[in-house]
Structure 1
Amino acid sequence: MTHRHLSNTVKQLKPSGIRRFFDLAASMEGVISLGVGEPDFVTPWSVCEASIQSLEDGFTAYTANAGLLELREEISHYLSSSYQVNYNPKDEILVTVGASQALDLSLRAIVDPGDEVIIVEPGFVSYASLVSLAGGVPISVATTSETEFKLQPEQIEKAVSERTKAIMICSPNNPTGSILNKEELSGIAQIVEKYDLVVISDEIYSELNYDEPHCSFSSIAGMFERTILINGFSKGFAMTGWRLGYACAPKEILQAMLKVHQYAMMCAPTMAQYGALEALRNGRIDVDKMRKDYKRRRNYFVKSLNEIGMECHMPGGAFYAFPSIKHTGLTSEEFAEALLKEERVAVVPGNVFGAGGEGHLRCSYASSLEQLQEAIKRMSRFMMSLEKSEVKSVNES
């Protein structure tokens, strides 16, 4: 096998910037990691027990390609009761191997070679790469701290061309924690309708809104027929390793996604589907407890970041803070590497989430309050050392 046998598209993909810092942190002792994008809670036992019971009952065969109908019915009921969106479980809901596969299927179902897809930055690291793998062209739109990293309708309009097919949005957002409320989504919807676009709405953090209810993009007037809703069980239900997500879309789009899914994956893991069924039926109490704990951590952590000189807006959802380090004069990568080496605190440089993230860090507060308190102590010490170095440099000059 030689280099020339590899796909040019794959050769041009950049490795995940997040993974590099995980690997570096893993080689050190005593590191507090604020980089991991997953809950620190264990999956509720009732969910595990339901999955175990399915094995004991011999439910180990394939399910329907779209997933257990019973699970799709429960997803439909959950979305209707929680977010006031109604999807037919028979042909508008698809159970996938994580929300990541749902994103991949969405793009492969709608994108032709050369089609442009607008990507909001800072944004999840896989979006642009998935667009490229589907044969599309990612078009980045950078949000700023001045708007708390919220996408503005005029930004979309400036990015639209005759080749634009879709836009990918994520609310609550990874990595900034920002949310888009109904009024803000309605503004985006006007541009989407004007230019006849499809919206891939990543709502994987929908259970983790802290200050106001989550608003699903497909609930906005006129947007149901234009939206592919992506969600799953990883974040809100603490089921990252179960790899179970789902996509919801109008029948024509959903069936196109199902066509790709049945050839590429067949179906999602059967025992995980039975676990998810239990999560939806009886897991909301656990989700509420986790959300309350995250909110307590958020309030402490963001307040503390601002107190030690790392300016940070209050994130409305997810479990990430996105503080600015621009005033230090260091790049995101320089700051993150120095913090890791000098104080053993692992964070993710903001630039790995796109150019709009430069000058910021992603810090996950999905860690115990004790760990967050120790992390703040170390980060404060690091910030003071930077200030001393700056004063020394000025005096010497």
Structure 2
Amino acid sequence: MAGATRPAGRDWRHGLLPPAAAWLVANLLTWAVARASVAGDGSPVAYWSTGGRTRWDSAHYLSIAETGYEMFRCRERYPDFPDVICGNVAWFPGYPMAVRAVSATGLSYELSAAVVTELCLLGMFAVLWWLLGARLTRATGLTLAIGTVFPGGVYFHALFPLSTATLALLVCVAGVKRGSWALAAAGGFAAAACHPVGAVAVGLLLLSALFAWRGDTRPVRFAKAGAAAAVSGCGVLWAKWLMWQATGRWDAYEAIQESSYGQGGVHQPFDEMARAYRFPFKDWYRPQGHLPWLVEHGLDAHRTQLWLDTAFVLLVLATAATLLVRGRGLDAGEWAAAVLTAAVFLVPFLAGAEMSWYRNHAQMFTGLLLVARLPGRVQVPLLACCAAQYALLGAMFFSGVLV
């Protein structure tokens, strides 16, 4: 396996040009997929508009940014609606608060959301580049290329918190790698505040006492790990506090998840994988009229997405295991990336996220840190598979089949 590179020297390759180029390519490829797709009404998709990047949950994030949280019985406002709980307390506040901050410049909330999304995606490539050693080689170049078509990565361009949460997880990994518990804690807090899956940072930081902070004594290592995990957990507490302030209920998030979405408790993950695989998206949301080739063949792309996601997490874990067996070892950042990749893959199925796992899995982007340790003969086929799947799932997204 090709070893990860280290920073050396100063030239243009060590700056922001490679991650900026990756960000630009990611947008151009996604625009090309949007051009080859149609919206649910049969019209062309305007990728460079906020409308082309908006899906069901986007409205909830924007409403939190604009007016804050609310929760009510659906029949209070919609007499013909099922008697369940409505509102926006099923969505975390990190991303909406960032949107609110940007909107203070005078931009609309929709445009502010797009700005936050794209800036965080650029930040993702920049932090990944630093983690890879900020040196352009075949291994790091191919790793950035895979990042441009990462499975589920179409949601990195949508008005969703996925790029924000993933950037936060990468910052957490960078803090662990640098030995900075404060940076790791800040990244963990932001990840947990942006998305429920981001709470995996708490578990990662607790485990970090076993593989990070090696320059400290054992008591200090455990103290840093515990303190960073505690700060990260406060991201969830902040979310619940905001919901309590608006609704008067500490369990507002749990209440709406159970009432409206049938989620709560821990699910059997293999059963949930089977349910997710069988979910009939195209029967619920199939666009009308003649469909372009890409859309027609992408209506069941969530199924190949599950196969690719599973292969990716197994590849990352196999890479980590091989490095350990061969005595090459993992640095603290690579340990963190491996733990996060496995956790992000499992959490949606443990929580019963039947209709959102494919976008939640995009946060496995952190696993690219270990993909850089793979030889080119593995990276190139992985890039080809990811590119093909990116086009299919992207068409599924832009045609309105995915939520």
TM-score by length of 2: 0.29
Structure with greater proportional strand content: 1
Structure with greater proportional helix content: 2
TM-score by length of 1: 0.29
